[in-house]
Amino acid sequence: MLNWTLVGWVVIGLAVILLALLSWGVRIKMPSLRKTDFVRRYKASQAISMEQGKDRQVVLGNRLVSRAYPGLGLTALSAMPLLITPETLTDGNQSIASAAGGLAVLARQVIEGWYANGFSEQLSHSRVKASVYGVTPFSFAAGLLPELEFASLGNLLYLGDYGPESGLAVKKAADRGAQVFAAAGSLTAQATLFLCVQDLLLGEEVFMLASSLAGSQQSRTALVVEDLLRVALIVLLVTGAVLKMCGVL
């Protein structure tokens, strides 16, 4: 008898088979179902900003874990190792900020590669700054705005769990001529930034950012498998709905 447990195992089995086939060199041509310009444009903006000696700001959101969106803080941290390059570590113009002290500490540990010894300024060898401008969303925004005002800003990247206060920083960065990038995982962030940020990731695209930044064969294979499974599920849902309306099911 068909049940949801069996359906789940079938989907997992298909994913394993597709991963194995694609890993062994089988090529499947299909149109891209996700944005690919975001990562390319962000890397280009980083390179131009470093050449011009401009500041780059990454915001990791307001909290590490929340009940409504439990994975957004960890998703932001997972992208950190891929955002930091040797040039970023040495030029002194890269800044990391968050309204959560835990996020700032973990981000610094990711940057330094020190995980076992806790946080200490004595462990800091890079020139990347990790700051907490405020401990609530709007106090953080109030602390971030002056930094954006007086900095020679090249780009601003918003990650993690944040809300409507992000619109203030985005507006300030845009007024300063900086490029703005955002991964909006919450409904309030999507509603706030949808009309004012060109390079915006929505929904599941937020959780694919780390894989897209990695650009490895394994990451590309995983994304292709997810796209294939998504297309298959859409086809099955539409087919089931049509058969139900026709009285077959």
Task: Tell me if 108 is assigned to some domain.
Answer: yes
Task: Tell me if 10 is assigned to some domain.
Answer: no
pLDDT at 108: 82
Whole-angstrom distance, CA of residue 143 vs CA of residue 136: 10
- One domain, residues 161 and 245: no
pLDDT at 193: 93
Residue 64 burial (C-beta neighbours within 10 Å; 0-12, 13-18, 19+): buried
pLDDT at 200: 92
Task: Tell me if 155 is assigned to some domain.
Answer: yes
- One domain, residues 172 and 210: yes
Residue 121 DSSP symbol: G
Which residues are CB-neighbours of 118 under 8 A, at least 6 positions away? none
The number of beta carbons lying within 10 Å of the beta carbon of residue 191 is: 13
Task: Tell me if 144 is assigned to some domain.
Answer: yes
Contact in structure between 174 and 180 (CB atoms under 8 Å) = yes
CATH of the domain at 140: 3.40.50
- One domain, residues 191 and 107: yes
Task: Tell me if 5 is assigned to some domain.
Answer: no
Which residues are CB-neighbours of 1 under 8 A, at least 6 positions away? none
- One domain, residues 60 and 181: yes
Task: Tell me if 142 is assigned to some domain.
Answer: yes
Label residue 126 by pLDDT band (50, 70, 90): low
Task: Tell me if 51 is assigned to some domain.
Answer: yes
pLDDT at 118: 54
- The residue segments making up the domain with residue 245 are 216-249
- One domain, residues 222 and 179: no
- One domain, residues 80 and 145: yes
Task: Tell me if 55 is assigned to some domain.
Answer: yes
- One domain, residues 145 and 197: yes
**What are 30-39's pLDDT values in tens digits?**
555 565 688 8
Please tell me whether residue 219 adopts helix, strand or coil conformation: helix
- The number of distinct structural domains making up the chain is 2
Whole-angstrom distance, CA of residue 126 vs CA of residue 107: 13
Whole-angstrom distance, CA of residue 119 vs CA of residue 117: 7
Among 11-25, 63-77, 169-183, 226-240, the range scoring the smallest mean pLDDT is 11-25
Please tell me whether residue 186 adopts helix, strand or coil conformation: coil
Whole-angstrom distance, CA of residue 91 vs CA of residue 65: 31
Please say if the pLDDT value at position 203 is more than 70: yes
- What's the whole-model pTM score? 0.78
Residue 129 DSSP symbol: E
- One domain, residues 112 and 229: no
- One domain, residues 220 and 209: no
Strand partners, 94: 56
- One domain, residues 88 and 206: yes
